[in-house]
Structure 1
Amino acid sequence: MTIERRLARAGFTLTRDYLVPRERVWDAFAHEDQKRRWWGAGDSIEPGEWVFDFRVGGRDIDEGKFHNGPVTRYEATYTDIVEHVRIVTTYDMWLNGVHMSTSVASLEFEPINEGTRFTHIEHGVFFDQFWADGPGREGGTRGLLEALSNYLA
C-alpha cells in the first residue's frame, strides 16, 4: 500500500469559563497528582507510559491503548510557563506508532469575576493519512476541557 504524502494544517480556539479561582485551574495542569485525575480518556483507555515534568524544557508523555483499539502517544515539551498566566507547549501525537501530527498549543488563565476564563489556542500540522484529523483534534480537546470541568466541580 502506498501512502499519499501530504500535509494539512488546522487551528482552533476554545474558551471556557470555570467557576473556581485561577489558581485552582492552574494547579490542575501544574501538579501531577491533579492532572492524572482528569487528563486523558478515562476508563476507555488502558494506561501506558506516563511522564510528567512541568518546567520550561520539561516533557510530558501519555501513552495508552483504547480497549480493543489503537495505541495513542502524546509527547509534549513545555516551551513557556508563566505561573497562573500561561503555558505554551509543542507536542506530537502518534497512533499505533505512526507519527500523525505536530502542534503548538497555548493555554491562558485569566481571572474574571465569576472565576477563571481559560483559553486554549492550537495550531497543528497533520501528516499523510492523518491529513483530515483537525476536527477530531478539536473534538478531543473539547473532551479534555469537559473532563477538566467535571474535575473542578
Structure 2
Amino acid sequence: MATERRLAHSSFTLTRDYPVPVETVWFAFADADQKRNWTGDDDAFEPREWAFDFRVGGRDIDEGRFHGGPVSRFESVYTDIVEHHRIVTTYDMWLDGTHMSTSVASIEFEVIDGGTRMTHTEQGVFFDQFWADGAARETGTRGLHEALARHLGA
C-alpha cells in the first residue's frame, strides 16, 4: 500500500512568565548540561544520540526510544542567536526513521517585573501520515515549558 502524500501546516505561540532573571532562563538554553537536564529523557525514554552546539550554524541532536515504542529523532540548526534576547532554530523530527516534520521556532526573552517573559512561536509543516500532528506538537512544546519551569524552580 502506498503512502498518501499530503502536507499540513500548523503554527502556535506560547507565552510563559518565569520568576527568575533573564540570564537564568537563557542559561537553561545555552548550557549543555542544563539543557540536557530539563529537556532530558524521563523514565519513559531510552536515550540514544545527543549533540549540543549552541552557536549560529550549530546543530543539536536528540534521539531516543520510547520504552516499548518508537524511536524519536530531533535535529535542529541555530539560525540566529542574540544573547538574552532570542534564539531562532529550524528543526526536523523523525519517528522510526520516517521524516515527520520541519519547523521554524523562535524563542524571545523579555525582562518583566519579577522575572522573564518567554515567547515561543513556531510554524511547522507535517508530512504524509503525520499531517494531523500539529496540535500534538503544541502540546509537547507546552510540556517542555513545564519541564523548564520545574528545572528553574518556578
TM-score range (shorter-chain normalised) is over 0.9
Q: Give the residue type in structure 2 aligned to 1:23.
A: E
Q: Please list every run of 5 or more consecutive structure 1 residues that lacks an aligned counterpart in the other structure.
A: none
Q: Superposition pairs for residues 39-54 of structure 1, below 5 Å?
A: 39-54=39-54
**Deviation (angstroms), 1:114:** 1.3
Q: Deviations over 1:58-90 (max 9, x none)?
A: 000000100001000000000000000000000
Following superposition of structure 1 onto structure 2, how do residues 58-137 of structure 1 map, counting pairs within 5 Å?
58-137=58-137
Aligned length: 153
Alpha-carbon distance in 2 for matches of 1:92, 1:19: 31
**In structure 2, what residue type is equivalent to 1:145?**
H
Q: CA-to-partner distance for each residue in 1:2-51, whole Å, 9 max, x for gaps?
A: 11100000000000000000000000000001101110442210001000
- Which stretch shows the higher mean deviation, 96-105 or 41-50? 41-50
- On the 8 A contact 1:10/1:123 being kept in 2, the answer is yes
Identity %: 72
Please say if 1:55 is aligned against 2:64. no
Match of 1:18 in 2: 18
Whether contact under 8 Å (2:41, 2:47) holds in the other structure is no
**Aligned mates of 1:119, 1:149 — CA distance in 2:** 14
TM-score (norm 1): 0.99
Deviation >3 Å, runs of 4+: none
Give me the whole-angstrom Cα distance separating, in 1, the residues matched to 2:48 and 2:147.
20
- CA RMSD in angstroms comes to 0.6
